[in-house]
Amino acid sequence: MGNHYQSVGSCVGSSLATTIGISGEASRPGSKLRHLLLALCLPALLVGCSEQLAANRPYILTTATVGGAYYPIGVAMATISKSQLQRTHNISLSAISSAGSLENVKLLRDNEAQFAILQGVFAAWAWNGEGPVRNPQTEMRSVSAMWLNVEHFVLLTELVKNGTLSDFGTLQGERVVLGARNSGADQTGRYILEQLGIDYESAMSFGYMGYEAAANAMQDGNVAGINVPAGAPASAITQAFAQMGDDITLLTFSQQELDTLNSRYPLWDWYDFAPGTYPNQDTAMRSIASPNVLVVRADIPDEAVYQITKMIWENLGTMQDIHAATKDMRLEIALKGLAAPLHPGALRYYREQGLEIPPHLLLNEQQEQQFEEQTAR
């Protein structure tokens, strides 16, 4: 708070000196007139300085818990923005941790954050008002698809029958972990099982814990299966394969399962693990993955979103050096898996790069007018 008041004081003092010429003692001739002018000008100056300070504040980028990929990649984006955009464009990001995608939707809605990283299916739920997000989030706009969220459904090898996700439907009475309670991992894991017709509620019991704890529980013999939706290689899966080797199996999906899963939201695609991605992995393995996405509030200025979009893609090499998961990112698939329409600032950048814009990512004039009327109420 001290810095805030010092900044206001400095701003007001400088403005007053410029506005009414205060440069000497108050006892000079005409000081009474100056005091009167000060009293008249001070409220307006305070408002102006507050607006100036607000303009200098960074946009909040909400990520997830510090143990996953969201937070360190968010911090990397914030660091790059401060070094490249703050001085020249007065634009920057500040990354914060959160409980993940569901909380990020709420933070964005309440304007406690202006940018957010979400799992792709959460962005679709948020835009349409489905799943755990009850009301359509009409203030949300897309910026870019980011790195891939790879599904790691892992099962004790002794329980594997055909090696696909359908094996989860045979776990009568077994205990599994899909994620922490009410986490994005838990929500998306349940969605996948539901879409594939697997009666998980009656077939198995659930434990609720984070990725590392779930891997430990599997090693200790307390759970039979886990899912870790994360950028590959995921540290929890690395840990599990290092300790358990052939005693666990990474399940794949059949083509029919993939097609069924994509029937509502066409977000998932094949993901191949090269040999050696994980310890004791001598052959290639296959799962599926969907994009994580960067979204923004619709009321953020076009220029700010344009510069941040440009910054991400022009500094991709730096981000890839910081976190391996971003090696999945490529400009040519930057629009793949996005549900909400593009923010005009992001749209401008992709048009400059010659990308073909899918029609569902373009807001028509009627939708824009409806949004403006909603925000004006």
pLDDT at 334: 98
Express as a percent the part of the chain with pLDDT over 70.
81
Model confidence pLDDT, tens digit, residues 159-168: 999 999 999 9
Token digits of residue 183 = 């986490």
Flag the least confident range among 86-90, 206-210, 333-337.
206-210
Q: Is the pLDDT of residue 53 over 50?
A: no
Q: Residue 79: pLDDT above 50?
A: yes
The pLDDT, as a whole number, for residue 154 is 97
What pLDDT score was predicted for residue 235?
87
Per-residue pLDDT at 280 exceeds 70: yes
> Higher confidence at residue 50 or residue 60?
60
The rounded distance, in Å, linking the Cα atoms of 159 and 171 is 8
What was the pLDDT predicted at 41? 54
pLDDT score for 86:
96
pLDDT of res. 200:
84
Q: What is the reported pLDDT for 363?
A: 85
Identify residue 15 by its one-letter amino acid code. S
18-42 pLDDT tens trace? 444 444 444 455 555 555 544 555 5
Taking residues 127-145, report their average pLDDT. 96
Say which residues have a Cβ less than 8 Å from residue 173's Cβ, sequence separation at least 6. Answer: 204, 205
The total of other beta-carbon atoms located within 10 Å of residue 83's CB is 13
**Mean pLDDT, the chain, integer:** 86
- Cα–Cα distance for residue pair 254/134, rounded to 1 Å: 31
Distance (Å, whole) CA 119 – CA 15: 46
* Confidence (pLDDT) at 27: 45
Q: How much is the pLDDT for 32? A: 59
Residue 112 burial class via C-beta count within 10 angstroms: exposed 0-12, middle 13-18, buried 19 and up: middle
pLDDT-based confidence at residue 47 (cuts at 50, 70, 90): very low
Considering only CA atoms, give the Rg of the chain: 25
| pLDDT for the residue numbered 3 | 40
Q: Is 352 left (phi over 0), alpha (psi -120 to 50) or beta?
A: alpha
Share of the chain above pLDDT 90, in %: 69
Tokens of 305: 């979103």
User: So what's the pLDDT on residue 183?
Assistant: 83
CB distance 190 to 183 below 8 Å: no
Amino acid found at 192: I
Check: CB of residue 140 under 8 Å from CB of residue 340.
yes
Confidence category of residue 56, pLDDT binned at 50, 70, 90: low
Q: What is the 3-state secondary structure (H, E, C) of the chain?
A: CHHHHHHHHHHHHHHHHHHHCCCCCCCCCCHHHHHHHHHHHHHHHHHHHHHHHHHHCCEEEECCCCCCCHHHHHHHHHHHHHHHCHHHHCCCEEEECCCCHHHHHHHHHCCCCCEEEEEHHHHHHHHHCCCCCCCCCCCEEEEEEEEEEECCEEEEHHHCCCCEHHHHHHCCCEEEECCCCCCHHHHHHHHHHHHCCCCHHHHEEEECCCHHHHHHHHHCCCCCEEECCECCCCHHHHHHHHHHHHHEEECECCHHHHHHHCCCCCCCEEEEECCCCCCCCCCCEEEEEEEEEEEEECCCCHHHHHHHHHHHHHCHHHHHHHCHHHHHCCHHHCCCCCCCCECHHHHHHHHHCCCCCCHHHCCCHHHHHHHHHHHHC
Which pLDDT belongs to residue 17?
45
Supply the pLDDT for residue 28: 53
For residue 29, the model assigns a pLDDT of 52
> Is residue 140 a contact partner of residue 361, using CB atoms and an 8 Å limit?
no
Mean pLDDT of 201-206: 86
50: pLDDT confidence band, cut at 50, 70 and 90? very low
Tell whether the model's pLDDT for residue 16 goes beyond 50: no
Query: CA distances (Å), 172 to each of 48, 166, 376, in order?
Result: 66, 13, 54
Instruction: Give me the mean pLDDT over the 271-290 stretch.
Output: 95
Domains of the chain, start order: 2-49 (no CATH), 59-148+293-376 (3.40.190.10), 152-267 (3.40.190.10)
- Structure token digits, residue 19: 């506005």
What token pair was written down for 123? Answer: 């962005």
